[in-house]
Amino acid sequence: MLTAVEVNKERTWQDAVDDVQLAFNCTVNRVVKASPLELLIGKVARPLSLLALGDQDQDDVDIVGIREQAVNSINANARMDKERFDRGKAKVSKFTVGDFVLIENHERNQTKLDPKFRGPFKIVELLDGDRYL
């Protein structure tokens, strides 16, 4: 979009900022499926260079409906993002009293012949927050 704005010696970036801002405000968002101006004022606003002759009869938008759709789309996208994030998290192993566990040694100051784990340790008590004694 920024490459489409013509900037030459007679027109500086300060002069082109208005066109860039209007283009951003008229661009339909992928998640919300509406432009920021549609959500704000309830009208479909387009830059004059993109306006076709037959588009002027569809300028009014149901602002309450489009805002509800935007909220639903944002919530659905947030749920999908959380699910994708949670898939990458490590699974926490739950242990019970009497289980034997190994604790991983830190790699700092360790040679390749040093043991990778310490233990085995026996779990004698369960504490809050996935901690064990």
What CA–CA distance (Å, rounded) separates 53 from 75? 36
Residue 56, pLDDT > 60, answer no
In tens, the pLDDT along 79-98 reads 999 999 989 888 878 899 99
Q: Which three-class secondary structure state does DSSP give residue 31?
A: coil
Q: Indicate whether this model's pTM tops 0.85.
A: no
Give residue 53's pLDDT band: very low, low, confident or very high (50, 70, 90). low
Give residue limits of the domains in the chain: 2-87, 100-132
Kindly report the number of other CB atoms within 10 A of residue 87's CB atom. 7
